[in-house]
Structure 1
Amino acid sequence: MKTFLTATLMTASLALTGCASIMSGSTQTLTFKSVPDTANIVITNKLGEKIHTGSTPATVTLKRGNGYFKPASYDVTFSKEGYQQKTVDVTAKMNGWYIANIVFGGLVGFLIVDPATGAMYSLSPNDVNTLLEISNTESNKMQNNQNLTVMLIDEVPKDMLARVQFIKQI
């Protein structure tokens, strides 16, 4: 009887959960970095509500879904005095574990659990790295002064790295 009860409880728990809920969860942790660092960030949802305010670098946990079969979407605004403001979109895409419900026979997870919890989605991009451009007024001031910025290659955002020209490698 004890074995039957244990088997029944395990079967019920597997049948009433979704693959994406088990493997990924309903929230996702994202990292936000900027060059220069210590830029202010404001994260707002689709409705324009502020979800998070802080400064870079930051690690924030966001919900993947925005209701039943509704993916979440966020606007992340970076700002710093002397630099142009920049906004990056973070959007939800289908999570691969959600499709695993079909393979493993989790109809309840496929139609109810994962869509209701938002676990059927993954937020993209996972790591948000942005380069803030110097504002025109700061640029005019800096034209009179010659400046050189030295950075470690690991600190350069990927989108900026494509434009980098190496002078000399040691």
Structure 2
Amino acid sequence: MSQKRNNPISLSSAPDGATFTIVDRNGKEVAAGQTPTTVILKSGNGFFKKAVYSINFSKPGFSNKTLTLEADVNGWYFGNLVFGGLIGLLIVDPATGAMYKFNQKDVQAMLSQTTVFAPLQEGALRIVSIDEVPQELRAKMVEVK
């Protein structure tokens, strides 16, 4: 009993307008674009191999975010014992990827805004939250009493 092999996945980001690239478990780029959008992804990646995708989101002024999307065994796959027989169970669905599905249909990346530290003029003062200071600059900070 074959099910869908290609699945629509909605991609969004906060804020909108992030670019994304999707890479499969073999390292091959399978999709790229800008959020929000919907992409069609295969749920299988070879005989008895589920699909695993790495989705990288980026937007100028924001930290990059990488999320993983992984297919799971489709519950209908075991219906082959009753409806499709052993051929469907052991050959057709494992070969076509129909034995897998995505439980997650929507992927949203929450991007964090980055702070750019432009050079200051000599003697200039800038007040920022400690959370806005990159980790590599925190070691150079001096406490003012």
**TM-score normalised over the length of structure 1:** 0.66
2:114 counterpart of 1:135: yes
Q: Structure 1: 5+ residue runs without aligned partners?
A: 1-18, 145-170
Q: Name the counterpart of 2:22.
A: 43
* CA RMSD in angstroms, aligned pairs only: 2.0
CA displacement at 1:103 relative to structure 2:
3.0
Q: Name the counterpart of 1:98.
A: 77
SS of alignment partner, residue 102 of structure 2: strand
Separation in 2, partners of 1:60, 1:105:
30
Q: Structure 2: which amino acid aligns with 1:116? A: A
Separation in 2, partners of 1:65, 1:105:
19
Separation in 2, partners of 1:124, 1:83:
28
Identical positions, percent: 44
Q: Name the counterpart of 1:76.
A: 55
Q: In the alignment, is the contact (CA less than 8 A) between 2:52 and 2:71 conserved in 1? A: yes
Separation in 2, partners of 1:124, 1:78:
21
Q: Name the counterpart of 1:121.
A: 100
SS of alignment partner, residue 104 of structure 1: coil
Q: In the alignment, is the contact (CA less than 8 A) between 1:92 and 1:124 conserved in 2? A: yes
Q: In the alignment, is the contact (CA less than 8 A) between 2:52 and 2:70 conserved in 1? A: yes
Q: Map Cα deviations across residues 8-57 of structure 1 (whole Å, 9 max, x no partner).
A: xxxxxxxxxxx2x2xx3211110101110010010001121111110000
SS of alignment partner, residue 116 of structure 2: helix
Q: Name the counterpart of 1:67.
A: 46
Separation in 1, partners of 2:19, 2:106:
16
Q: Map Cα deviations across residues 110-168 of structure 1 (whole Å, 9 max, x no partner).
A: 01110000000012422101210111428xx9x59xxxxxxxxxxxxxxxxxxxxxxxx
Runs of 4+ in 1 over 6 A off after TM superposition: none
Q: Name the counterpart of 1:155.
A: none
SS of alignment partner, residue 125 of structure 1: coil
Q: Map Cα deviations across residues 74-132 of structure 1 (whole Å, 9 max, x no partner).
A: 00001000000000101111001101112335211101110000000012422101210
**Bigger helix share:** 1
Q: Name the counterpart of 1:58.
A: 37
